Amino acid sequence: MSILSSRPYLTAFLTLFALTSYYYYTATCVTSTNAITTMATPDLLSHLHVSATQSSTNPPILTLTLKNTHPSTAITLLNWESPLDPLALQLGLVSVYPLEGDEPLPLATIQVSRKLPPGRDQLVALQPGESRSQDVTLREPVVPFKKVAEGPDGKKKVRVVCRGRWKAVWVAAGVEEVGDSALEKMEADEGAVG
């Protein structure tokens, strides 16, 4: 005689355990209409290249460009605190130095509180090899050009350093592929491999 037939309580317990486990598994593994997105790895982030070029002198305009140099992976990122943030200059992500100086000019910066979760209009999708740019006008009173000495040619010259951080970057081909829960948490969806 088997151990299960001689112990009815054990049989009932194991049956109940199996049914509960099955129910729990099927209840928590419901498929979602949202795509599962994966946060970008440090290797992928190394393929995000930032460049700054002067596109105008009067007024001085700086073009900040972000390029996805990865050969095969599309990414979607949140533009907050990145070179593509519309408030990049005001947030202090751009530092302006006199051409001959080591100390940056004291910029009039601000702090912002942003509504969470971010809207999809704050996301930028970059396919492999694709780039996105933003123009930043270096203007008074944010940039105190009065503190910059004129060069021999009579022009005020500065050098610019752009800093920032990636608040959220996902492996996703488009803005719509970032799941709602990933956007709310600003991280990968549950169950994502990354």
> pTM score > 0.85 for this model?
no
SS (H, E, C) the chain: CCHHHHCHHHHHHHHHHHHHHHHHHHHHCCCCCCCCCEECCHHHHCCEEEEEEEEEECCEEEEEEEEECCCCCCEEEECCCCCCCCCCCCCCCEEEEECCCCCCCCCCCCCCCCCCCCCHHHEEEECCCCEEEEEEECCCCCCCHHHCCECCCCCECEEEEECCCCCCEEECCCHHHCCHHHHHHCCCCCCCCC
Block residue for tokens 């996105």: 132
Q: How confident is the model at residue 29 (pLDDT cuts 50, 70, 90)?
A: very low
Is residue 4 domain-shared with residue 76, that is, in the same domain?
no
Total tally of structural domains belonging to the chain: 2
- Residue 9, pLDDT above cutoff 90: no
Position 194 in a domain: no
Position 81 in a domain: yes
Position 193 in a domain: no
pLDDT value, residue 19: 56
Position 107 in a domain: yes
What is the per-residue pLDDT across 147-187, written as a single tens digit (0 to 9) for each? Answer: 888 888 888 889 999 988 899 999 998 999 998 988 888 76
Is residue 91 domain-shared with residue 170, that is, in the same domain?
yes
Is residue 173 domain-shared with residue 156, that is, in the same domain?
yes
Average pLDDT over residues 75-97: 94
Position 116 in a domain: yes
Position 191 in a domain: no
64: containing domain:
35-185
